[in-house]
Structure 1
């Protein structure tokens, strides 16, 4: 256990805190819980890299914590009627696909692609979409659809990078 992994584990704890706030009627406060989770994500990655504390466990738990938080947010927004079913379904399919795909290939001994600039940008843009939705900005759902499309593009980039990385490894 090191500081980056402890920060990652704190994000798992923030998921039920987010849900309690959201469904307890503190929807705007729940966004700040989500933002705190995002800040711990930035902090753990930065600290791990600068202090050479990157671990295999952290590399697996970090994206899992991110995806589980996003799934909690998607389900919360859907249940509350703040986003349409189709948007929630698209977001859910992508995030679950990323979790299952990463785990499947990791346990088959394949190299997984670390987060890149496009993935990090997608996360920031999703957070912005959630901010717009929670604070009822008029174009929030249109913006969300744009980000969903962008997220699928970044997923295809990851798949391409994964194939390239594992083809080189296999040669």
Structure 2
């Protein structure tokens, strides 16, 4: 039954969208961020869709559990990188996210190699992701309080990392 592969196909599609996003962002004829933003939002939609489908129909796989967060991290870092290059957000935002995501990838790899365990996304990570999406939209459309929304996104991502570290410590005991 092919339906069980839909979440993994959506996750793979989201990974493919990363270089597409970067190409559109940096190489569009009019340097139009609108189309890049649409690609970013499409990636967000596929993230939500694959999660709903996987949980509702029990199509949760090890591939999805491991690769889905990686797809999210790649897209978020690509978007923050592009916004940093265009000087729409400060370098520390990108740096904090890269450090946090690197720590989480190393921790996830350690847990999977040692215990064959993959920690799935929790409410803190999901909230941080949603706030980052809102922050990116706010920055691109130049909302007056975009910097505050981005600061909230950074706060939420640090909170998600702390929560992950607590879970990590409980598992490795």
Same structural fold, with TM-score higher than 0.5 when normalized by the shorter chain: yes
Q: 2:157 aligns with which of 142, 145, 151?
A: 151
Secondary structure in structure 2 of the residue aligned to 1:108? helix
Checking the alignment, whether the CA contact within 8 Å between 1:110 and 1:166 is kept in structure 2 is: no
Work out which of the residue numbers 10, 16, 19 in structure 1 matches 2:22: 19
- How many angstroms does 1:76 deviate by? 0.5
Q: CA deviation at 1:138?
A: 1.9
Determine the structure 2 residue equivalent to 1:53: 59
Residue equivalent to 1:162: 168
Residue by residue over 1:86-141, the C-alpha shift from the partner in whole angstroms, topping out at 9 and shown as x without a partner, is: 12211221122222221232122253321111211110000000001111112212
- Alignment root-mean-square deviation, CA: 1.5
- Contact conserved, 2:107 with 2:168, CA < 8 A, in 1? no
Q: Is the 8 A contact 2:24 2:35 kept in 1?
A: yes
Instruction: Give 1:154 shift.
Output: 1.6
- Return the offset for 1:164: 2.1
CA 1:110/1:56 → structure 2, altered by over 3 Å: closer, same or farther?
A: closer
Q: How does 1:19-168 map to 2 (within 5 A)?
A: 19-23=22-26, 24=28, 25-109=31-115, 111-167=117-173
Tell me if structure 1 keeps the 8 A contact 2:11–2:50: yes
CA distance in 2, matches of 1:110, 1:5: 19
Distance 2:37 2:105 in 1: 23
